[in-house]
Chain A
Amino acid sequence: MNAPISSFTPSVLAESAAARVSLAAPCARLSLRVRGDFAPLNTALGLTLPTRIGQRAQSGETQALCLGPDEWMLQAPETLAPGTQAACDEVYGTLPHSLVDVSGREVTFEISGPRAVDLLTLGMPRNPDSIAVGEGRRINFDGVTVLLWRDGESAFRMDVWHSFAPHVLHLLETGVRELAAEAA
């Protein structure tokens, strides 16, 4: 289910002096929807689900990003996902929720380099600097809904649905070349 079905292989996809775009190794992605008092889920997941949209929480190798008032995206290494799902299933009786494995839905582009922020402005109507380091958002990137995680001043991860990935990558490739040409 989690095999990369896009035509790219995990590697550097575009690189110049300005920025670098590479494909991350596959990971487990879980979409969580829950309302009400979700304290039992915090215990099951072993982390405190953030409540402000855009905030992230991390416990070990599991990361959670708050996408909406009742929506989170969880990412973890593939080996941890079955355990996480089993732990959440146990509290289902007292706290009904939706936890769906969407690992096969997306690929992750890792974007870094001195001009990574400038590269993102090519597709983002909002200011990339409005996303603080250590946060994330669901955004519009060149007309495509993507998840953007900001890991450092100039280090981002972008989760893109498979079918949109070639389109988004094409824009990033052009941008990487263009920013390098600008500097030269």
Chain B
Amino acid sequence: MLLIHCPYCEETLPEAEFTYAGQAHVIRPEDPSGQSDDQWQEFLFIRANPKGPHYERWRHFHGCGRFFNAVRDTVSDKFLTTYKAGAPRPDLSSLTEGLK
């Protein structure tokens, strides 16, 4: 079982308390009516599927109930970091530095 650090509870807890909530940092366009069909398609359906670090959302469902963001390596399933929703995307090089 994965252990996930909740940035709100400040505790590292079992995966069973959390739910996955898709890719992080998908920003809704500020002017929706100005979007073309292709842009809407991009926003709604097109997601990254990286092999390696992935920015994604998680929710501490059986706990504080908060959504937060995480960087998880999709190969090793290791969480590189978790951070609060709304916080800027952490720089990947600073996260992977300790692993080398």
Structural contact, A126 and B17, CB atoms closer than 8 A? yes
Q: Does B51 contact A (CB under 8 A)?
A: no
Q: Which of A4-12, A36-44, A65-73, A169-177 lies on the face that meets chain B?
A: A65-73
- Chain B interface helix/strand/loop/mixed: loop
Structural contact, B65 and A125, CB atoms closer than 8 A? no
Within 8 A of A (CB), among B49-81: 61-66
Q: Does B1 contact A (CB under 8 A)?
A: yes
Structural contact, A69 and B66, CB atoms closer than 8 A? yes
Structural contact, A138 and B8, CB atoms closer than 8 A? no
Q: Does B24 contact A (CB under 8 A)?
A: no
A69-B8, A126-B17 given; A138·B63 CB < 8 A = yes
A68-B66, A71-B65, A139-B62 given; A53·B16 CB < 8 A = no
Bitwise interface map of A from 81 to 100 toward B, beta carbon under 8 Å scored 1, else 0:
00000000000000000000
Structural contact, B64 and A68, CB atoms closer than 8 A? yes
Measured as residues with beta carbon below 8 angstroms from the partner, the interface class of chain A is 10 to 19
Q: Does A79 contact B (CB under 8 A)?
A: no
**In the complex the two chains form, what is the Cα distance from A68 to B11 in whole Å?**
13
**Chain B: CB-nearest residue to A130:** B11
Question: Using Cβ atoms and an 8 Å threshold, which residues of chain A touch B62?
Answer: 138-140, 145
**In the complex the two chains form, what is the Cα distance from A140 to B8 in whole Å?**
17
A40 to chain B, nearest CB (A): 24
**In the complex the two chains form, what is the Cα distance from A71 to B8 in whole Å?**
12
Structural contact, A137 and B16, CB atoms closer than 8 A? no
Structural contact, A125 and B66, CB atoms closer than 8 A? no
Q: Does B14 contact A (CB under 8 A)?
A: yes
> What are 24 A-B contacts with C-beta separation under 8 Å?
A53-B8, A53-B10, A53-B64, A67-B64, A67-B65, A68-B8, A68-B64, A69-B8, A69-B66, A71-B65, A125-B1, A125-B16, A125-B17, A126-B17, A130-B11, A138-B62, A138-B63, A138-B64, A138-B65, A139-B17, A139-B62, A140-B16, A140-B62, A145-B61
Chain B contact residues, CB within 8 Å of chain A: 1, 8-11, 13-17, 61-66
